[in-house]
Structure 1
C-alpha cells in the first residue's frame, strides 16, 4: 500500500533545501529512491514504514529551488510540524533520473520538455 504527500513549498538556504510537507512524517524512513510521475509532472521521493511506502511529490513549482540545491549539492530535507528528515541519496538518484529523462520521450513530451527547460539550461 502507498500514501502520497505533497510538498507545499521549498525554502532554500545557504546550507540546505527544506521542503514543507502537507502531512505527518511520523515513522517514515527515507528509502533513497526517486521515481517519475509523468501524469502529474513531478518527481517522487520514496519514504517507507514497515507496512507501506509514502510518495513525496516534488512538483514543478519547486523545481527552480531543486535545481539550485542539486547544482550546489545542498542536502535536501523535508519538514512537518518541526520534525525534519534528510532525503538520503537524493543527488545520486536525481542525477540518474534527469539524465535518463533528457531526450527520452517515453516519459511523455510535457515531462521531457519541462525537465529539459529547468534542469538542462
Structure 2
C-alpha cells in the first residue's frame, strides 16, 4: 500500500522488523521473475530487499514525475530511500527495449513508465 503525505511517497509495510537496524543502500535492481523493482537496504550483516511490485508502479511513476522523495514506513519505523529517483529512472530507462530483462518485464515497464 502507498500514500502521499506532504509531497512524500510513503510505502507502507506491516513488517516493522524489516526496517529495524537497516540503512538505505541507494540502489534498485530488477527482479524479472516477480515483475518487481527491489530497493536494497542493508544492516551490518546482509542486504535487505524491499520489493516494489507491479501494483505500485503507477505510484512510483507519479513520484518520479513529481520528484517526490520516497520512504518506507512500518508501524514504528521509517526509512528514507536515498537516491530512489535517480536509481529508478536509470533502471526503467535501461529496461526499456532491453530483452535481457525478459519480454514480459520489458512490456510491463514500458506500459507503465513510457505511455
TM-score (norm: length of structure 2)? 0.94
Find 1:16's aligned residue among 8, 19, 23: 8
Task: Find the counterpart in structure 2 of residue 27 from structure 1.
Answer: 21
> Where is the strand percentage greater, Structure 1 or Structure 2?
1
The runs of 4+ residues in structure 1 deviating greater than 2 Å are none
Q: Which runs of 5+ in 2 are unaligned?
A: none
Root-mean-square deviation over aligned CA pairs? 1.0
Unaligned runs of 5+ in 1: 1-8
Q: Is the 8 A contact 1:12 1:69 kept in 2?
A: no
Aligned equivalent of 1:71, options 65, 74, 95: 65
- Alignment: residue pair count: 113
Cα deviation for residue 81 of structure 1 reads 1.1
Contact 1:36 1:44 in 2 (8 A): yes
